[in-house]
Amino acid sequence: MEKRKLIIDTDCGSDDAVAIAMAMREPGVEVLMFSAVCGNVSMEQAVRNTLTALEYADTYFPPVYEGCAVPLLRKAAFAHETHGKDGLGDLGFAPKRLKPSEGNGILKMLDLLRESNDGEIEIVALGPLTNLAVALMLDPDTLRRAKRISIMGTAGLGRGNVTPVAEFNIWHDPHAAKMLLDFGMPLLFIGWDACLGDAAFEEHELEKMKNTGELGSFAVQCNRQIIKLNKARFGRVVIDFADPAAMAAVLWPDCIKVCAEYSCEVETMPGPACGMFIIDQNHESGRKPNAAVCSQLHAELYKDYVFRALSGELLR
């Protein structure tokens, strides 16, 4: 079978690194390139972290390009409390062999889409949507050639993780999210709620992950800041793997349990609701759906897929 072709856009923090490794170990896809964006960490740090994740995945090495260093209209607000100052748990993880590729990730993304057939390439966005919004402004017709943009973003049908109503990726650049949402092309949002509850990795599962090998050990170690944060937030050792949940939904849709199309909006005005992703769950607005929202995964299937990816079983 012909491999699916992906472009991955990332603000690579610790859970992004795990999601990237999963994609690199999925034999059914070919990752064509990475573009880095400001979000969990600076754009420059996101580049370094992506290269580190590629080295640990140790399969093939697509080019990694720089993208936007600031949101469209807001100041950057990094998630150091969640991922550490370096985004990988402040343990000194850094690329040893790989280097960033020359060129701008947004322009390279558009070049690949321009050279492809309509619907040949999918885009997976693991961070704020700044790069994609700039691509939209530069060449909307070319961006529309993507088959779909799958996005780790929104609170789904649940609560926020950076404010009571907003999830970090949407909140960090709500104007970019609004632009993509209003653009009118196939969008799949995988909400933060999809990695909670039974889909969160408990302490015994994290021990199992560490024991799958070097990549599994890296996956747990680089997320040590999330573990620390969650001990205070949830009262136990647990990781809510937002980006791996989104990547699993993209790579293996069988693990999706709840997903539906809705009419959605993004609040961009300053204030307590900024970054809120408003989902017309009861279809009261009368507007046509403009996005699909995945809010729940089959936990057992999802976790099994993560273990198989990190252990290298998918490659055998």
Helices 242-251 and 299-311, interaxial angle, to 10°? 90
Taking the whole predicted model, whether its pTM rises above 0.85 is answered as yes
Q: What is the pLDDT of residues 47-81, one digit of tens each?
A: 999 999 999 999 999 999 999 999 999 999 999 99
Mean pLDDT, rounded, for 141-152:
98
Domain ranges of the chain: 4-315
Q: Is 63 helix (H, G, I), strand (E, B) or coil?
A: coil
- What residue type is 292 in one-letter code? A
Eight-state DSSP code of residue 1: -
Amino acid at site 101: S
- pLDDT (average), residues 158-175: 97
- What does the pLDDT average to over 171-177? 98
CATH superfamily membership of 4-315 = Ribonucleoside hydrolase-like (3.90.245.10)
Interhelix angle for 14-24 vs 242-251, to 10°? 20
7 band by pLDDT with thresholds 50, 70 and 90: very high
Q: Output the pLDDT for position 316.
A: 80
- Using CA atoms, how far apart are residues 225 and 200, in angstroms rounded to an integer? 16
Does the structure show a pLDDT above 80 at 182? yes
The residue among 132, 174, 193, 154 whose CA lies nearest residue 275 is 174
